[in-house]
Every structure is written in C-alpha cells, then in structure tokens.
Structure 1
C-alpha cells in the first residue's frame, strides 16, 4: 500500500534539492577560482624567475662562466623561500640546483622539449611542487643551450585549500539544512489558503448545500479551484433539491390512490357483501392500480431523463406521417367533442420514433382535452437549414401568464380541482420536455386570448 505524500514535504525536498545544487555549484566555482588564482600567482613568480635565469644565461661568454653560474643565481634567489631552480645540460648533467631541489628529471626534460610553458605538478615525499621547464640559450654560442626548471613548494596553498573547502562544505550543509527549514516554513505558510479552503469545504453538509467557498480571498492559483468547487456545489444543490422535490411529489401523488385503495378495502371488509359489490370494488381498485402503474412508469422515465440515462435510438422520422397516425388515434375523441384536426407542412428529422410519438401524443392529448367545442387543433410543421419546428395550437382553456413557466413541472395542474382520472398522471408535459431535451431540442409555450401554442424545435442533424 503506497503512502500518501505531503505537498509540504515535496516542496521542502524541492527547496533543499534546488538550494543544495546551487550551493554545490557555487562552491565548486569558488574553489576552482581560488585554485586558479593560486596557480596564476605561482606562474607569475615562476615566469619571472625563468626570465631572470634566461637573462643570467645570456650574459655568459664562455664555458668558465657557465661553471660560475652558481654564484650568480644564488645571489638572485636570496629571500625567495620555497623557490627551487634546476639547470641541466642536454645530457641531463646537473649544472646548478638549489639545496632542496627535488625535480623529476624525465618530467622536466619532456616539459622543456615541448616548450609549452604550462605548469607541471609533482609530489616528492610530503612536498608538492608546481614548476615550469624550458630550453634556454646561453651567451656562449647559438648551439649552447641548457634546460632550466623553476618550481615552487605549494604545500601552503594545498593546506589553505583543504581548510577552505572544509569550511565551504560545512557552510553548504548548514545552508541546505537552513534552506530546508525555511522551505518547510514557506510551504506551510503558502499552503495555508488551501487548508482554509478545506476548512470551508468541511462546513458543507446535506443541510448546508447553499454554502459557497470564498473565491475573493483565495489566491489566484486556488481561485479557479474554488470557483469549480462552487459550481459543483451548485449542481449538487440543484440535484438535491430536484431529488427532494421528486420524492415529495411521489409521496404526495401516491398518497391519494393508496388512501383510496385502503378506504375502499376497509369499507368492503366492514360487512358481508354480494359478489357484484365485491366485483365493483375490485374494478375500482383496478383503475387505481392502473393509474399508479402509469404514474410509476412515467416517474421512472423522468428520473432517467433527468440523469441523462435516456439515449434516443435515432432514425429518419416523417413528422407528417406520425402526426396523421395520432390524428387517427384521437379520431373518436375529437368527433365526440366536435373538434377538427388540421396538419400543415412536413419535414423529416433524425429521432427516436417511439419517444417522439409519445411527446407529440402528449401535446395532442393536452390540446384535445382543453379545446373548446367546434374549434380546430392545428399542427404546423416547418423546416429551416438546421432545425425543424413543430407548433401545436388549440383554442379553449387558456393558461394564465403566471403559470406558463410551470406547465412543464411534474404534477403541475393549472386547475387543481380537476379529477385525476380526467387529467392523467400530471406528468405528460414534463415527459414531453424530457424527450425533447434528450433529442437536443427546445420546447416553449405561449397562451394569448385563449389560444395556446406549444412549439417544439428539433435539430435536423443528430
């Protein structure tokens, strides 16, 4: 099982790592610069003494003068402690050497032959030397050349560098530790708004879904997160209220038929009755059960639609053919109410045939139910490049303006006094709206001077 990693710990480790890398790089640069500075100082001294040795050799006029060069160089090296000089003949015969000179002859000969004037470093016992070597001419003749090597004991430089590096690395370690502590403190302080956001979120409960996180006081980096969380809370609050309303509607609507069934059953059982009486009571109960079954089926469809679980199976649908089929179905009812049904226009859409037929059937049933006698229910179909419009118009019981926004709500009835048996389950328009929205369309209603028009707009493409 993997352990959870703290953001504070991560940031602290990042601070320590970054600062350690920077300090180590800086220490390396400083150490290299100091070492280079010592080398340049040594080279300045060595080059000067090499030039002095060359000047002395140029003053020689004979081999006897070469033998007396010891006296000349000894005088020139007075006061230069740690400076060693070696003069060799080409056959490696030593002409002059300071008392403590410990030169590796082969290394000196190779360096002199290369004439690079680059410093060479070697160790003899506990001493470390840095020197240069070169072949220099003498004043005796053009062919008379000797090998001159000049070196300095750099033990004091090395001792200083060891002490310097020890101090530097101790400082780097201490600075890394201090940076880690400061990084931890900075991370803790920097993440304080996140902890405050968490404390605000802990206040949100099922009873306080209206609570929102403070976006204004949040840093820029957390403002978008707080805004997204607020939007999520708004969606949750809306869904919770919708669920609560849905539960209340279910309880309210099922209470009446259940109460009717209980009352009729208790009355039937209160005394002995004839078979016809029992049959009549059972028929009445059967009607209530059918009504409840329709209501439960409709509520199940609405619940699926509101949660995006209704996925239309699309096919090409001829709207005029579907409307005419519905006209035939309601022919008996319209004849009884002396109503006329009229269709204008035609179009084809990509939709679920059964779902769309149910939506149009609900609208037509609603229009027939509330139309005045001897009037006409018009269904007008028109199409544009990207949408199809279906308008269903009837004249009769109008809808008050204050109710227009609520006609698509579950169980809403403009006239609550109407009997349930004549008004259905009260879910027809809500189901119609859910079907239209599932197809990516819109539905609206307007009622002016007793003429009510429902308008469905569907996209032509799926």
Structure 2
C-alpha cells in the first residue's frame, strides 16, 4: 500500500510513527520511574513506622507491659490518617487497630517466617493499600512474637498516575500530529530540489534539449542524479542533433539524383525518340538507381550497426591476407591511375571477416581517389603489446585541419562545393562513417592525420 503513496507522504508518515514510538517509550519509561518513585516513598514511610513499632515491642518484658502496648501504639500513631496499623498478640488476637483494614492472610502468615519486611499491594474495598507485616520478639521468655502490620493508602498515587497517563497519552497524540506536520514541512522543503528538477525536466522539448539540471543548487545526495540526468540529456541532444543533420543530409543527397531522374524522364517523354536513344536514357537512369540503392544500403548498414543489430562473427583474421586480396581487387584501377600499392608488416585480430574487408576497402578506395598519378599507397600493419594497428597512407595535397574532426561524420566531404556530384563514381560521404562504425563494433578506434604531403588513416584493434 505504501508504494502508492507519494514520497512526501511516506516520509511524513514514517517520521510521525517514529516520533510517536519514541514519545510512547519515553512516556512508558517515565511512568515506570514515577511508579518506582512513589513506591520508594511509601516504603520509606513504612520503614519508619516499622522501626517505631519495633522500639515499642522490644521493650515488652512482662504481661503488664504487654497489656499497656495498645495504648502506646495509639499514642504513637495518632494523627496518621493514611496509615493503617494493626497489632496482633502472640495468640493471634487483635490488640490494636487504628482502622478497619483487612490485611491479606498470606501476608500475616508470612510475617513469622520473614527475616525482613515483605511489601505487597492489595485492594480493600475501594482503597488501594501498600504495606507489610513483620513479627517482633519481646523480652518475655517463652512467648511467641508480636505481629505488627502496617499499610499506607496509595489511592492518591494511583489517581495521580492515572491522570498522568491520560495527559501523557494526549501529549503523545498531539506531539505526533505536530511532529507529522513539522516532518511534512521539513520533507517538503528537503524535496524541493526534486520539484525543481521535475519542472526543469518537464520544460525539455525537442526544441529545448539544451536545458540541464541544477547541480549546484541540489543537495549532495541528489547531485549525482542531476549529473547523470544531464549526461543523459547531453546524449539525447547530441543524438537528436545528429538525427536532424542526418535527415537534412539525406534530403539533400537524394534530391539531386531524383531531380536528375525526373528531368531525364520528362525530357525523354517530351518527344518521340529512337530505340538507341531510349536505351541510353534507361542505361543512365539505371546507373542513377544503382547509386541510390547503394547509398540506401549504406545508410541501413550504419543504422543497424549503431543500434547493435549487426553482431560481428568472431574468427581469426590475418590482416595481411585481407589487404592482399583487396590489392588484387583494386589492381586494375591502380594501374589505370598509375598508382602503386605496397604492404608492410602483418598482424592478426578477431572479428568479422566481411565487415573488416569492407572497412579496409573503404580506406583503399578513398586513398585511390585522392592519390596523384605516379605515387604510392602504403598499407602498414604493426603489432604492439595490446593493439594491432593498420594504417593506410596516401600522398596528396592533404586535408585542412578544420576538416579532420568531421571526416567520420555522415555525408561529410572536405570539398565544400557539391555541384560536381552527378552520382557517378564519386562518394557520397558515407564510406568513412561506415568504416568508423565497423571499427567501433570490433572494440577499436580510428583516427586520421594529414600534412601537406600525405594523409594517414589508422585503425587500432585490441589483440584479443
């Protein structure tokens, strides 16, 4: 049931319960201490009377003095209205009783055997009595002891304790309510940073993802939560920003080929043409469609890779062997551009063979595109203690420094002018993004550095 209540209500209720229990325990301890205090007072009074009775009884040395004992008791205990005193002769007859009080038979019977006073509490009619009985020996030889029973009326103590109990109960109830109210105020004030965070979170929208939780104004216990939420908002803002850019880039990249296809189709339909002309137009359109299909396939590959839907199969890969196979694939294109391909070093990693071949192929294709004729592309593989590094170096004019941080973004190209894109063999800016996604899926990282003479892309993978 508690899980359906608000945190403020839970803490307030628990605070009130704990306060009530603490006050109740305090009240109980106070009642016990008060009762013990009254009992000690009554016992002190009775001890004094017992001592007085002992002094009177121990003086008895004859039957004459025994007969005068009741009068002595009357004189000694006169004026004690709350005190009941009974004197029993050795044969059990009542010699003196200042009040008609019935002492328990068990208490009187026990008096002969007791070495010290045994105090008990009992009810006699509407009175509550607390007393004892004890036997005192006289100086008369061969005579049984005289029993003296004394008791004090403790009704006033019981009434006081009863009133105190009622007052204490009311105090506990009122104090619990006050503690509950104060607890609610304290909890409400203490949870105010949560309400602030709630209001700030409710203000976050698609257009206001830059809002953050106030870390400085929240308690230490909530600062970590606020920092975590800020990190989450940062990731959401970054993802939303990338998604917006991705959507804009897709629209930009698809607009040109679709516009070309529509223009060519309308021009072809505007007048009758020969079969050869129609065949050329359809062949051109087929190239455009093929390029569109490859771009869409690349975008789907990126999306599935980033969402973790493509899990690489794990097998041992000899990187030198994969690079050699790709050299054979690009050999004709390299000869056409008069570019040499060279490999140095070797190394092994564990991963998905097809995905790794695609990543290396993207780097080689990119290098062939920008390497001047008569130059050499160098692929080096180096095994270090914990990593295996594959680098692709191609000479050229280099990449501007401000463009290096953006090379692995989707649809990014260092060339600012996009008017030359006709969807021929030019890339559309997804190759390096795909390469980065593949490398990261294998637990590695990729980097690029460039000078005015050459550009180097390096992929680093863990050895295991």
How would you bin the TM-score normalised by the shorter chain?
over 0.9
Partner of 1:450: 453
Partner of 1:252: 252
Aligned pairs, how many?
A: 461
Per the alignment, do residues 91 and 297 of structure 1 end up closer, same or farther by CA in structure 2, a change over 3 Å counting? farther
Q: 1:325-358 CA deviation, whole Å, 9 max, x = no partner?
A: 1111111111222222111111111111111110
Partner of 2:85: 85
**Structure 1: distance between partners of 2:250 and 2:227:** 34
Q: Are 1:127 and 2:127 matched, yes or no?
A: yes
Query: Secondary structure of the equivalent of 1:446?
Result: strand
**Structure 2: distance between partners of 1:111 and 1:394:** 118
Q: 1:71-110 CA deviation, whole Å, 9 max, x = no partner?
A: 1111110121121122335664434333322212223323
CA contact (8 A) 2:90 2:144 kept: no
Query: Secondary structure of the equivalent of 2:388?
Result: strand
**Structure 1: distance between partners of 2:22 and 2:183:** 15
Per the alignment, do residues 95 and 328 of structure 1 end up closer, same or farther by CA in structure 2, a change over 3 Å counting? same
Q: Are 1:176 and 2:179 matched, yes or no?
A: no
1:33-432 equivalences under 5 Å are 33-89=33-89, 92-110=92-110, 113-141=113-141, 144-415=144-415, 416=418, 418-419=420-421, 420-432=423-435
For structure 1, list consecutive stretches of 5 or more residues without a partner in the other structure.
Answer: none
Deviation at 1:208, TM superposition (A): 0.7
**Structure 2: distance between partners of 1:95 and 1:298:** 121
In the superposition, the TM-score normalised over structure 1's length comes to 0.94
Deviation at 1:186, TM superposition (A): 2.2
**Structure 2: distance between partners of 1:295 and 1:26:** 79
CA contact (8 A) 2:119 2:130 kept: yes
Per the alignment, do residues 232 and 56 of structure 1 end up closer, same or farther by CA in structure 2, a change over 3 Å counting? same
Per the alignment, do residues 68 and 381 of structure 1 end up closer, same or farther by CA in structure 2, a change over 3 Å counting? same
CA contact (8 A) 1:291 1:425 kept: no
CA contact (8 A) 1:409 1:430 kept: yes
CA contact (8 A) 1:92 1:105 kept: no
CA contact (8 A) 1:399 1:450 kept: no
Q: Which range is displaced more, 186-195 or 431-440?
A: 186-195
CA contact (8 A) 1:316 1:348 kept: yes
Deviation at 1:389, TM superposition (A): 0.8
Query: Secondary structure of the equivalent of 1:437?
Result: helix
CA contact (8 A) 1:109 1:147 kept: no
**Structure 2: distance between partners of 1:183 and 1:449:** 71
Deviation at 1:143, TM superposition (A): 6.0
Query: Secondary structure of the equivalent of 1:8?
Result: helix
Query: Secondary structure of the equivalent of 1:186?
Result: helix
Partner of 1:30: 30
CA contact (8 A) 2:111 2:147 kept: no
CA contact (8 A) 1:344 1:379 kept: yes
Q: Which range is displaced more, 176-185 or 152-161?
A: 176-185
Per the alignment, do residues 414 and 197 of structure 1 end up closer, same or farther by CA in structure 2, a change over 3 Å counting? closer
Per the alignment, do residues 213 and 282 of structure 1 end up closer, same or farther by CA in structure 2, a change over 3 Å counting? same
CA contact (8 A) 1:117 1:133 kept: yes
Q: 1:239-277 CA deviation, whole Å, 9 max, x = no partner?
A: 100110111111111111111111111112112222222
For structure 2, list consecutive stretches of 5 or more residues without a partner in the other structure.
Answer: none
CA contact (8 A) 1:312 1:438 kept: yes
Query: Secondary structure of the equivalent of 2:458?
Result: strand
Query: Secondary structure of the equivalent of 2:402?
Result: helix
Deviation at 1:35, TM superposition (A): 1.4
CA contact (8 A) 1:372 1:397 kept: no
CA contact (8 A) 2:107 2:133 kept: no
Query: Secondary structure of the equivalent of 2:55?
Result: helix
**Structure 2: distance between partners of 1:54 and 1:111:** 14
Instruction: Indicate the RMSD between aligned Cα atoms, in angstroms.
Output: 2.0
**Structure 2: distance between partners of 1:269 and 1:112:** 137
CA contact (8 A) 1:20 1:172 kept: yes
**Structure 2: distance between partners of 1:414 and 1:200:** 39
In the superposition, the TM-score normalised over structure 2's length comes to 0.94
**Structure 2: distance between partners of 1:187 and 1:90:** 74
**Structure 2: distance between partners of 1:48 and 1:201:** 78
Q: Which range is displaced more, 448-457 or 121-130?
A: 448-457
Deviation at 1:433, TM superposition (A): 1.1
**Structure 2: distance between partners of 1:307 and 1:111:** 94
Deviation at 1:386, TM superposition (A): 0.8
CA contact (8 A) 1:84 1:97 kept: yes
